[in-house]
Structure 1
Amino acid sequence: MRSYKDVANYARYLGLFLTLSTIVLTGCAEYESSGGWQSTATAPTTIPRSNYSYYDSHREATVLDAVLVNAIAQIGKPYVWGGESRHHGFDCSGLIQYVLNEAGVTVPRTARAQALALPAVSFSRIRKGDLVFFDTMGAPYTHVGIYIGGDQFVSALNRHAGITVQSLHNPYWAQRLDGIRRPMPPELLAMQSLDDHVLNQ
C-alpha cells in the first residue's frame, strides 16, 4: 500500500505533465428544483467577510488532512455533469461536497453556496485542504477545487480531463482566482460565530 507521501508525490508529478494550454471548462452544475442541472452563472448577493479568526486546533488540522487525502484519492476519476459519486464521477462542486463530507464537514451542493458557507482566508494563509474558487463564467464562484500544496489544486475539470491536478501559476487560473475558503467542522464554525459575536459587542 502506498504511503500518503507517495500519493502526494504522485499528484505533484502528475500536475507537471498536464497540458494546460487548451483548457475548455465544462463548468459546475447547479440543481434547479424546476428543471434539473444547469450552469452556475449568477453572482452571489453577499460576499463573506475576509477577516477570519484562526483556531490552530488539532481538530482543524485533522479536517484539512482528511480533505487533502480524500481529494488526492479522487484523481483520475471521471467528470460527470451533476455528478456526486465516487463510483460514477463528479462535477466540481459535487467533488467538494463528497470530499468534505468524508472529512466531517457539511456544505451545500453548489460552488457559489459553498463559497458563501465557509470562512474566507487570504492567499498568504492558504493551507493544504483549503478550497480555491474561480470565476470561469463571468460570475463569482463558478468553479472550485481543493488546494494540495505546491501551488496546485485538484478539481473536476471537464469530460476530457476528469478529476485532475492544475497549477495556480497557469495564467488561466491565476487571472480567475476568486477566493479561498477554509473547510471547518460545525464546532469550529460555532466557535468562530461566538468569537465574532463577542468582538462585535
Structure 2
Amino acid sequence: MKKVVLSLLGIIMFFTFSGGSVYADQIDLRESVDEVVGTPYKWGGTTTSGFDCSGFILYIFKQYDTKLPRTSSSQSQVGTKVAKDDLRPGDLVFFNTNGKGVSHAGIYVGDGKFAHSSSSNGVRISNMSDSYYAKRYVTARRVVTGENYEDMINDEHEIKEDSNELK
C-alpha cells in the first residue's frame, strides 16, 4: 500500500510540476548539454569533436532514445508545434538565420534560454530574447513526451522510500 501511495504521489507531483512552466529540476538535460558546452562548431558534425546545430540536437536526443531527422529544416517538421509561451525544457526551437527558412536550431533549456551549436562559438547557451535570435525565431516543436521526457528531466520530487522525505 505504501508503494502505491508513493507512486501515486510521484505521478501527481510530476504532472503538477510539468505544466508549461519553467522548472528548477531540469538537471539531466542541462547536465547532458553542459558536458558538451564549448565543443567547436563543425559543419556536418555529429560528435564531440565538433557539432553543427542539428548534429548537436541529434547527439543530445540520442541519449534519450529519440530519433530525429538530420537537418534543422527537417527537424522543424516533426513532433508537435509549441507556442513560444508554452516552451518547456527539451523542446526544439528554430530560427531563420539565412533568409531562406529554418536554418538554425537549438534545445530550449528553461529560463528563456536555449542550447545550440553556433557557427561562431560552438556549443553554447543563449537567451531567446537576444535581439539576434528574437528577430529570427520561427517556431518550436515538442518531440519528447512520456517516458523519454521523464528520463530527460531529473525528477527532484521523487520520494525516498526509506525516509518518506522529498529528495
RMSD of the alignment, in Å?
2.5
Indicate conservation of the 8 Å contact 2:91/2:144, yes or no. Answer: no
Structure 1 pair 131–65 and aligned structure 2 pair: CA distance change class (3 A): farther
**C-alpha distance in structure 2 between counterparts of 1:100 and 1:129, whole Å:** 9
User: Which of 112, 116, 123 is the matching residue for 1:155?
Assistant: 116
**C-alpha distance in structure 1 between counterparts of 2:126 and 2:93, whole Å:** 11
**C-alpha distance in structure 2 between counterparts of 1:155 and 1:69, whole Å:** 14
Structure 1 pair 70–134 and aligned structure 2 pair: CA distance change class (3 A): same
Secondary structure of the residue that 1:178 maps to in structure 2?
strand
| Deviation of 1:73 (Å) | 2.0
**C-alpha distance in structure 1 between counterparts of 2:129 and 2:94, whole Å:** 14
Indicate conservation of the 8 Å contact 1:106/1:185, yes or no. Answer: no
| Deviation of 1:187 (Å) | 8.3
| Deviation of 1:123 (Å) | 1.2
Structure 1 partner of 2:39: 77
Q: Where in structure 1 are there 5+ consecutive unaligned residues?
A: 1-55, 189-201
Structure 2 partner of 1:192: none
**C-alpha distance in structure 2 between counterparts of 1:118 and 1:134, whole Å:** 17
The TM-score, its normalising length taken from structure 1, stands at 0.57
- The count of corresponding residues between Structure 1 and Structure 2 is 127
Structure 1 partner of 2:159: none
Structure 1 partner of 2:164: none
Does residue 170 of the first structure (1) align with residue 130 of the second (2)?
yes
Identity of aligned residues (%): 33
Aligned-partner residue type, residue 109 of structure 1: R
The TM-score, its normalising length taken from structure 2, stands at 0.68
Structure 2 partner of 1:143: 104
Structure 2 partner of 1:111: 72
Does residue 99 of the first structure (1) align with residue 99 of the second (2)?
no
